[in-house]
Amino acid sequence: MNILYYIEPKRGEGGVSNVASYLPKALSRKANVTYFPRIVSKKGILNIFNVYWKYVLGKFDVIHFNVPPTWINGSYIMLKSARRCGIPTVLNIHGLVQLEHAFDPKVRPISYLQLLNYSNSSNLVDRIVVNSEYMKKRVAVSYRLNRDKIVVIPNGIDLREFKKNNAKIELDGDPAILSVGLVSFVKGFDILIRSTAMLKHKLPKMKVHFVGQAAKQYINLAKASGLEDSIVFHGEVEHSMINRYYASADILVIASRTEGFSLALIEAMASGLPVVASNIGSLSEIISNGTNGILFQNENSVNLSNAIFELHQNPILRRHFSDNGLKTSKKYDWKNIAEKYISLYRELAS
């Protein structure tokens, strides 16, 4: 099977970059994969049209778009050409921030033209791949699509990265709480900050370590709450280093208000790190409350602080979550995820 895989250049961590980095490599063990990075042409838009047309005509069984095709870089021409040639197309939709929060001043909005382009591309492709049942529901409603067109295939991780003996780093605190991701309203970091303030008298040695780019308002909130000594902002960290943070922390907290899929959750489980997470979106699809983690009521700081305290006080429960989390993470190894994509390709190409 010959697959043309449209790769968005790596621009940081997250679902798009993770899939672009690992999925084509895993697929190459099962099929012939041609990597096609975004073209930035200096010779004009006609040259881009010619290149895409050349790549599409009769050479591939499936064309896979990791991001929605656009007119700006010519990938939309690839999609239209594929339809003209009868070549099946697949599109990943990694998240719904663009739709659900486009006009929310707390997150970066995108233009109406971008929204229109994403909707149009979603209607043109043969299958859309999302990473959770929650995403499937939201995409179907947001883009007005038949659910039969949408396939759920979760993001994966390379388990080998977490089996290595990663040298620990010094994370102060008893317990040392870790939270990974863009420090923003959607990720619920203000909820965790309020919970930390509630726990300060019970766990005076507790420290929360935020890993990710932090907006100034959350740094100010920590100061205003008198938590300068209890919260550490580490900023952005290279993904090659993140394993060390997982290996060094006692508990991972995911306080997101909405979450299409959380790589941090799977990575933490693969590291044997017990998890406390809000009971929303894909988080509640992965975590079975009391079995491989704790789910707290969304946006409830009191409920979150109680969950953290309970887990810290119970080493047997932490070990239980650690063992079951490791078992859960094995389902998300890229080898297993790639098999699901291959099955989808075969269905479309038959």
Domain positions in the chain: 2-156+333-349, 160-331
Is there a contact between 183 and 215 (Cβ–Cβ < 8 Å)? Answer: yes
The residues that bridge with 5 in the sheet, in sequence order, are 35, 64
Burial class (CB within 10 angstroms; exposed 0-12, middle 13-18, buried 19+) of 111: exposed
pLDDT at 11: 47
Residue 198 pLDDT: 96
CA–CA dist 330, 332 (Å, integer): 5
CATH superfamily ID and name for 2-156+333-349? Glycogen Phosphorylase B; (3.40.50.2000)
What confidence score (pLDDT) does residue 37 get?
66
Q: 2-156+333-349 and 160-331 share one CATH topology? A: yes
Output the pLDDT for position 107: 44
**CA 151 to CA 132: how far, in whole Å?**
9
Rounded-to-integer distance, Cα 147 and Cα 137, Å: 8
Could you report the per-residue pLDDT of 65-96, keeping only the tens digit for each?
A: 988 887 766 678 788 888 888 899 999 988 76
Q: Which fold has domain 160-331?
A: Rossmann fold (3.40.50)
| 105-144 residue pLDDT tens | 444 445 555 666 677 888 899 999 999 999 999 889 888 8
Intervals of the chain under pLDDT 70: 8-15, 37-58, 72-74, 96-117, 164-167
Please report the pLDDT score of residue 103 as a whole number: 39
Tokens at 71, concatenated: 């007119």
Which residue has 């591939």 as its token pair?
Answer: 60
**Number of other residues whose CB lies within 10 A of the CB of residue 73:** 20
